[in-house]
Chain A
């Protein structure tokens, strides 16, 4: 089933809370915007991933917790965490 923007935000918050070991109530949404990503891995490939070189529309979801910002990227098929401690993750 296609991922909606709301569902992507919900999943991103849950994922970040789990990674940081904090409550979701400690996480705020800094910004959510629609953007075009450079490829089908949303410009956030995991190590070793290759992707089709087609521009893909989706959402950039910026979350904040304890003074730090975290960037998630989503489209209707997937959610990714971008550059978390130098590494990209497919959530």
Chain B
């Protein structure tokens, strides 16, 4: 900043803050009146009122001291709910004077020492566990003898066309990810941790139990200056801010099974990794509602654990929208700088994301891979988004059988289901080469594709992930 104009900028900033503060004072008095009325309301009404308190994600410029951030938020009658430690200058602001989120964001946007401010976006997940698209499978506990000595003996493995396509149910023989050949080289490692950022995971599911990450005793419990100490035994629940990420929805458990259901244990399905550590991160509620802020809190948690010594190398993100959040983008970028690959769903509207981006898959970050979905005949699934410049790779994602809460198994379709295939193959690669950089890992995956005519000109690589090629199996 020019030295001569500095006093002018300073004066302007102070005036703006004071004006906003005066406006805030008026609204605060109004809010206090509302609060007096609220105190006379029944508890339920009161709860509704409290829940309406606006939250805004604000990123201050790097040279703004924490004390200054605290002073500004106080002047504007706001609270700092949390600082996102992994993204310098990013804070969660909670309004205390009755403004809506957009108004609060505008207050901060007007300040010269703020890079950006955005309302805490609501993220919605409305599962339909009884959906007609969901095919339920009865668990067959009778012991199965594998048809092929290389096949795992999991009871439902013959239904997993994505791992071995034998033409079952109208599929195309060989239209799979070459899992059997990949498994001749590795079936995964419990030294690799994959974070499933979703609706949680049923960590008691019999087919997942052994592959769920449990915080080692030599790693201290999660401690956030604002959120407090959390006993993160099985991961993190950003909704409740506790260490119980149990899935009360189903979506996250399905994703987790594709990545790492225990293999060759005679029951259920085989994950791409027979051995791995799934770290459940819950930010979507049973009703399907979550926020950008909670997604960021989970990413911040994963980064913290990585710094504490947990080998978190991959985050799976089977969700998205067309709404861009710079705060979420910054958090994902920071994850990349910490060595974490971010694998995201391209979206299900059958559209070109070069034209209509779908986030977080469309963030142009060096650690993001955007994944399209294929059907059992190696065709781009009718619902799958694509993009010659913005969708990187394709993977099986239609009629995918996987784990479901309560020890169950269901079949579902979507780029949600294709994403963990790529995340799972990434984990297989890391089981052999744990020291690969994010860039090396990403390049390895994008180079390990089977080119498909149906994908030519549709996605960046024009191909489907091949697990055997990724791990260097013959």
Could you give, for residues 35-76 of chain A, a 1 whenever the CB lies within 8 Å of some chain B CB and a 0 otherwise? Answer: 010111111011111111111111000000000000000011
- Point out the residues of chain A lying under 8 angstroms from B198, CB to CB: 52
Question: For the complex, what is the distance from the CA of A91 to the CA of B414, rounded to whole Å?
Answer: 25
* The one of B132, B323, B346, B416 that contacts A54, using a Cβ cutoff of 8 Å: B416
Tell whether, in the assembled complex, residue A53 and residue B318 are in contact, meaning their CB atoms are under 8 Å apart: yes
Given contacts A50-B321, A52-B251, A54-B414, whether A45 and B124 have CB atoms under 8 Å apart is yes
A34 contacts the other chain (CB 8 A): yes
Given known contacts A34-B132, A38-B349, A77-B128, is B122 in contact with A55 (CB within 8 Å)? Answer: no
A56–B123 touching, CB < 8 Å: no
Q: Would A50 and B124 be within 8 Å (CB), given that A39-B348, A45-B321, A55-B383 are in contact?
A: yes
A50 CB → nearest B CB, Å: 4
Q: Is B457 an interface residue (CB 8 A)?
A: no
Q: Residue B246 at the A interface, CB < 8 A?
A: no
Q: CB < 8 Å: which of B121, B126, B349 contacts A40?
A: B126
CB of A78, distance to nearest CB on chain B (Å): 5
Question: Given contacts A39-B414, A52-B251, is CB(A57)–CB(B323) below 8 Å?
Answer: no
Chain A residues near B383 (CB-CB < 8 A):
36, 38, 55
In angstroms, Cα B385 to Cα A43, docked, is 14
Q: How far is the CA of A60 from the CA of B123 in the complex (A)?
A: 23
Q: Which one of A42, A48, A49, A53 contacts B415 once the chains associate, using CB atoms below 8 Å?
A: A53
What's the Cα separation between A36 and B402 when bound, in Å?
20
Asked whether any CB of chain B lies closer than 8 Å to the CB of A20, the reply is: no
Contact of B319 among A53, A75, A76 (CB under 8 A): A53
Convert B415-442 into 0s and 1s, putting 1 for each residue whose CB lies closer than 8 angstroms to a CB of A. Answer: 1110100000000000000000000000
Nearest CB in chain A: distance from B24 CB, A: 24
Q: Are A56 and B128 in contact (CB under 8 A)?
A: yes
Contacts of B320 in A (CB 8 A): 50-51, 53
Q: How far is the CA of A47 from the CA of B325 in the complex (A)?
A: 13
The answer to whether residues A48 and B126 also contact, given A40-B251, A54-B416, A55-B383 and a CB cut-off of 8 A, is no
**B282–chain A nearest beta-carbon distance, Å:** 13
Residue of B nearest to A47 (CB): B323
B131 at the interface (CB under 8 A from A): yes
Inter-chain CA distance A41–B348, complex, in Å, is 11
B348: contacting residue among A50, A55, A90, CB under 8 A = A55
Contact A54–B288 (Cβ < 8 Å): no
What A residues does B211 contact at CB under 8 A?
none
| A26–chain B nearest beta-carbon distance, Å | 30
Pick the most buried of B123, B124, B251, B414: most chain A CB atoms within 10 A of its CB.
B124
In the complex the two chains form, what is the Cα distance from A77 to B254 in whole Å? 19
Chain A residues within 8 Å of B347, by CB: 38-39, 53
Q: Is the CB of A76 within 8 A of B414?
A: no
Question: How far does the alpha carbon of A51 sit from the alpha carbon of B415 in the complex, in Å?
Answer: 12
Most chain-B Cβ atoms within 10 A of its Cβ — which of A47, A50, A51, A58?
A: A50
- 0/1 interface trace, chain B 279-319, chain A, CB 8 Å (1 if under): 00000100110101000000000000000000000000011
Set A48, A50, A53, A56: member contacting B131, Cβ < 8 A: A56
What's the minimum C-beta distance from A8 to chain B, rounded to whole angstroms?
Answer: 12
Q: Let me know if B321 and A38 touch, CB within 8 A.
A: no
- Given contact pairs A53-B318, A53-B348, A48 touches B412 in the complex (Cβ within 8 A): no
User: Complex Cα distance A53/B400, Å?
Assistant: 13
Q: How far is the CA of A49 from the CA of B323 in the complex (A)?
A: 8
- B128–A57 CB distance below 8 A: yes
Most buried by A among B126, B287, B346: B126
Instruction: Decide if A42 touches B132 in the complex (CB within 8 Å).
Output: no
Task: Check A46–B127 contact: CB distance below 8 A.
Answer: no
Q: What separation, in Å, do the CA atoms of A49 and B349 have in the docked complex?
A: 15
Q: Top 7 A-B pairs ranked by shortest CB distance?
A: A50-B321, A49-B124, A57-B132, A54-B414, A38-B348, A50-B123, A53-B345
Add 16 more A-B contacts to A41-B124, A75-B128 (CB < 8 A): A36-B133, A40-B125, A50-B321, A51-B126, A52-B127, A52-B319, A52-B416, A53-B419, A54-B413, A54-B414, A55-B414, A56-B133, A57-B131, A57-B134, A58-B131, A77-B128
